[in-house]
Amino acid sequence: MAYQNLLFDIADGIGTVAVNRPKALNALNTETLRELQRALQELENNPEVQVVILTGVGDRSFIAGADISEMRDMNSLEAIRFSKLGHTTLDQIERLGKVVIAAVNGFALGGGTEIALACDFIFASENAKFGQPEVTLGVFPGFGGTQRLPRSIGKARAKELIFTGAMISAEEARDFGIVNRVFPAESLVEETRRVAKKIASNGPIAVQLAKASVDRGYDVPLREGCHMEAVAFGACFTTMDQKEGMTAFLEKRKPRFKGK
Ligand code: HXC
C-alpha cells in the first residue's frame, strides 16, 4: 500500500513506520493520522509481523505534535473530530496484537509525546525532547495526554508538565519513567531493532496475550486482573507454541514458534 506521509517497511518480523514530514518536523495532520491507521491495520493483518517500531524521519524530530497550521482555523466541532481521530489512532496502537515500540529520535511534543505514550514502551535518543506545550498555544493536550500522562508518571508530575508546557530531556523523561532507555542518536535504531528482534523470537501468541493482559488488567481491580490473566494463561495451552516452547526447553534446543 502506498503512503504519502509515512515510510513503511517490513523485515525480520518487524514493521517500521516512520512519519515522513520532516519539513514540518513530522507534525501530525489529518491525512497522516488516517495513513497511520491504515498502516497499523496492514501490520495487524500481516502474520509475519510481530513487532512494530514507530519513529520519525530525519535526525531532528520524532513527531513535533499535531499540525498547528491545520488546527489554527478549526471550529469546535472540527477540533472534537480531530481529537477523536487521534484517540482512535492511539487506541489502535494500544490494542494492536503486536508489540509497538516508540523510537523517539528528537522532538516528541504535544501529540508526539501522547502517541509515544500509547506505545508499549519508549526508547529515546540522547537528543530527544518530550513535552506537552499545548497551553502555550491556548489549548491543552487532546490526544489523550491528560489521561495517559498521569497514569504514566503520576498526577502531580503530569500537571506540572501540562500546565507549564515545559520541555524535558530524554534523561529526565527516563527518570520520570516515560522512557525505558536512552541511546546515542546514532545507535537508537540498531538498539531498538535488537530488542524488537528478541521479542519477535518469542512465542507470538504468548507475547500478544501478555500485552493484552497487562493493558486490560491495568484499569480493573487486582483480583479482576488476575482472573483475566489466568484465563489468558490457559489460552496459551491451546496453542502448538506452548507445546513447542516447553518441549524445546526439555530437549535443550531452541524453540521453533509458529504463532499457532
Ligand atoms: C506544524 C510545525 C510544527 C507543528 C514545527 N513545525 N512543529 N508545523 N505543526 N506542530 C514546522 C515549523 O512551523 C517550521 O516550518 C518547521 O517545522 C521547523 O520548525 P522551527 O520552529 O523552525 O524549528 P525550531 O526553531 O528548531 O523549533 C523546533 C520546535 C518548534 C521547538 C519543535 O518547531 C515548536 O515549538 N513546534 C511546535 C511544537 C508544539 O507546540 N507541539 C504541540 C502542537 S499541539 P517552516 O515552514 O517555518 O520551516 C498538539 C495537540 C495534540 O500536539 C492534540 C490535538 C487534538
The CATH number for 37's domain is 3.90.226.10
Q: How far apart are CA 51 and CA 126, in angstroms?
A: 23
Same domain, 49 and 93: yes
pLDDT of 64: 98
Q: Which residue of 31, 32, 33, 68 sits with most ligand 1 atoms within 8 Å of its CB, as the best mutation to test the pocket?
A: 68
Query: Is residue 236 domain-resident?
Result: yes
Domain count, the chain: 2
- The per-residue pLDDT for range 204-242, each reduced to its tens digit, is 999 999 999 999 999 899 999 999 999 999 999 999 999
- The per-residue pLDDT for range 193-204, each reduced to its tens digit, is 999 999 999 999
Query: Is residue 183 domain-resident?
Result: yes
Same domain, 125 and 238: no
Query: Is residue 56 domain-resident?
Result: yes
- The per-residue pLDDT for range 116-138, each reduced to its tens digit, is 999 999 999 999 999 999 999 99
162 pocket-lining for ligand 1 (C-beta < 6 Å): no
**Residue that has been written with the C-alpha cell 491543552 in this structure:** 140
Same domain, 39 and 153: yes
Q: How far apart are CA 197 and CA 30, in angstroms?
A: 32
Query: Is residue 256 domain-resident?
Result: no
Tell me if 132 sits within 8 A of 124, measured CB to CB. no
Q: Has this prediction a pTM greater than 0.85?
A: yes
89 pocket-lining for ligand 1 (C-beta < 6 Å): no
257 pocket-lining for ligand 1 (C-beta < 6 Å): no
- Which residue, of 162, 184, 200, is where some domain finishes? 200
Query: Is residue 135 domain-resident?
Result: yes
- The per-residue pLDDT for range 20-72, each reduced to its tens digit, is 999 999 999 999 999 999 999 999 999 999 999 999 999 999 999 999 999 99
pLDDT of 134: 98
Amino acid at 35: E
pLDDT tops 80 at residue 1? no
Same domain, 220 and 117: no
Residue 243's pLDDT band, with cuts at 50, 70 and 90, is very high
The CATH number for 211's domain is 1.10.12.10
pLDDT of 257: 97
Same domain, 59 and 74: yes
- Number of residues written out for the chain: 260
Same domain, 162 and 238: no
Q: How far apart are CA 84 and CA 246, in angstroms?
A: 44
Q: Exposure of 95 by Cβ count < 10 A (0-12 exposed, 13-18 middle, 19+ buried)?
A: middle
Enumerate the β-bridge partners of residue 181: 123
Q: Which residues contact 246 (CB under 8 A, 6 or more apart)?
A: none
Q: How far apart are CA 143 and CA 98, in angstroms?
A: 21
Which structural domain range is residue 73 located in? 6-200
Give the Å distance between the CA of 158 and the centre of ligand 1. 21
Same domain, 140 and 152: yes
Query: Crossing angle, helix 76-95 and helix 30-45, to 10 degrees?
Result: 20
- Which residue, of 200, 218, 238, is where some domain finishes? 200
Q: Which atom of ligand 1 is nearest to the CA of 82?
A: 55
Cβ neighbours around 236 below 10 Å, total: 15
Query: Is residue 112 domain-resident?
Result: yes
Query: Mean pLDDT over all residues of the chain?
Result: 97
Give the Å distance between the CA of 259 and the centre of ligand 1. 42
Same domain, 13 and 109: yes
Same domain, 77 and 193: yes
Q: How far apart are CA 72 and CA 89, in angstroms?
A: 21
Query: Is residue 219 domain-resident?
Result: yes
What percent of the chain clears pLDDT 90, i.e. is strictly above it?
Answer: 99
pLDDT of 139: 98
Same domain, 223 and 181: no
What percent of the chain clears pLDDT 70, i.e. is strictly above it?
Answer: 100
Residue 153's pLDDT band, with cuts at 50, 70 and 90, is very high
Same domain, 117 and 75: yes
Cβ neighbours around 3 below 10 Å, total: 18
pLDDT of 90: 98
Query: Is residue 260 domain-resident?
Result: no
Same domain, 214 and 194: no
pLDDT of 220: 96
State residue 66 phi and psi, 5-degree precision. Answer: -70, 155
Enumerate the β-bridge partners of residue 125: 183
